[in-house]
Amino acid sequence: MSNKSKIDLVIVGTGGFAREILWTIRDYNEIYHEFSVLGFLDDNESLLGQTIDGIKVLGNTNWIFSKKNKIKCVIGIADSQTRKKIVHKFEKEKISFQTIIHPSVIFSKSNKIGNGTIIQAGSIITINTAIGDHVHIIIGSTIGHSSIIQDFVTISPGVHVNGNTIIEEGTFIGTGAIMKQNLKIGKWAKIGAGTVLLTNVEDYSFYAGIPGKLKKTD
């Protein structure tokens, strides 16, 4: 496949998660040769022109606006609120987003996976699951059957979501959290690392511990 037929991408952000996305894309390209990563975008002007993991920082997030019909974007920022702000800024300019799924991910064709979502290596998405737009499912996580993961959710490494679970918009699930089936986790909630969650979670709240308990409400 020639370079002309590849999809040109830029990655927004230059931090650890953005570099992990670059790794995910490179692994995908070893098999499918589908993407050409042009560079990173970052609003930290001191990074302009630097090279990170072999890829140049092209400019700030306004860089893409003059090229919006030619280039797709991947948001490499784990913070859900920041990610949503950038997406809304880009949507006003009709920027297109790319979904990236690592080739090692196991998932059923019965699942629905949204626009701009990232699913990293070793994750398993079973059956009849709906995953929204701009969701990040990080290394080695599992999503059980018939679950609903809404837009801008971040699922950290090694999280286990059991079946029939609803995770609402913007929620952050910390590394290694485990939850029983049939739960509803409210919007923009936070679940601490290592939490064993046995109860529903309120909107804008923080749950942590074994078992998970309400720690504070924003």
Residue 2: per-residue pLDDT: 47
Largest CA distance in the chain: 54
Kindly state the tokens that stand for 68.
């919006």
Alpha helices in 10-120 (DSSP H): 16-32, 80-92
Which tokens sit at 22? 């670059």
Over the stretch 196-207, which tens digit does the pLDDT of each residue have?
999 999 999 999
91 residue type, one letter: E
Long-range contacts of 127-133 (CB under 8 A, 24+ apart): 132/169, 133/87, 133/97
Ordered domains of the chain (ranges, CATH) = 3-98 (3.40.50.20), 101-208 (2.160.10.10)
- Compute the C-alpha angle 118/78/64, nearest 5°: 75
Cα separation, 99 vs 130, in Å, equals 14
Q: What is the pLDDT of residue 3?
A: 47
Strand order across the 136-137 sheet: 100-101, 118-119, 136-137, 154-155, 172-173, 190-191, 205-208, 213-217
In this predicted structure, what is the pLDDT of residue 186?
A: 97
Residues of the chain with pLDDT under 70: 1-4, 68, 216-218
pLDDT, residue 139, reads 96
What string of H, E and C letters represents the secondary structure of 129-140? CEECCCCEECCC
> What values do phi and psi take at 17, rounded to 5?
-70, -35
pLDDT reported for residue 69 = 75
Q: What is the pLDDT of residue 4?
A: 56
Radius of gyration of the chain (CA): 17
Q: Note the pTM of the prediction, 2 decimals.
A: 0.93
Instruction: Label residues 100-121 b or e (16+ Cβ within 10 Å = b).
Output: bbbebbebeeebebbebbbbbb
- Please say whether the beta carbons of 29 and 2 come within 8 A: no
Token output for 152: 């801008």
Q: Is 175 in contact with 190 (CB distance < 8 Å)?
A: no
